[in-house]
Amino acid sequence: MANVKIKPIGDRVLVQHIEEKEQVRGGIIIPDSAKEKPQEAKVIALGTGKKGEDGKVTPFEVKVGDRVLISKYGGTEVKLDEKKYTLVREDDILGVIE
């Protein structure tokens, strides 16, 4: 994965797409027919955190290395060393795959 070159701002998280062939065997299969198809991804870097009115930062519910499901329409794609990454807000992370 080399050296990560993007530090997300605020409540954003940098995640790396997991190609379908690499996805957990016998595990989660996302149906093609799903109206809003989520995508499996790995958390690469956490943002600087979401700040409340009082300046306190809310800790993230995910950590670097987590396998997560992200909402398909959330986030912005970037490419780094030939791999697709996505900058998503934490609220676009639906769940952690355990």
Torsional sign, CA 26, 66, 42, 55: positive
**Does residue 79 interact with its own copies by CB under 8 A?**
yes
Report how far residue 21's alpha carbon sits from residue 80's, in angstroms, rounded to the nearest whole number: 20
Q: How far is the CB of 26 from its own copies (least distance, A)?
A: 8
Within 16-55, the residues that bind its own copies by CB under 8 A are: 24, 26-31, 34-36, 38, 47-48, 51-55
Q: Which of 84, 95, 88 is nearest to 1 (CA)?
A: 84
For its own copies, which is the closer residue by CB, 21 or 31?
Answer: 31
For its own copies, which is the closer residue by CB, 21 or 35?
Answer: 35
Q: Which residues contact 71 (CB under 8 A, 6 or more apart)?
A: 36, 38, 88, 92, 93, 94
- List contacts with its own copies (CB under 8 A): 4-10, 12, 14, 24, 26-31, 34-36, 38, 47-48, 51-56, 58, 61-62, 68-69, 71, 76-81, 84, 87, 90-91, 93-98
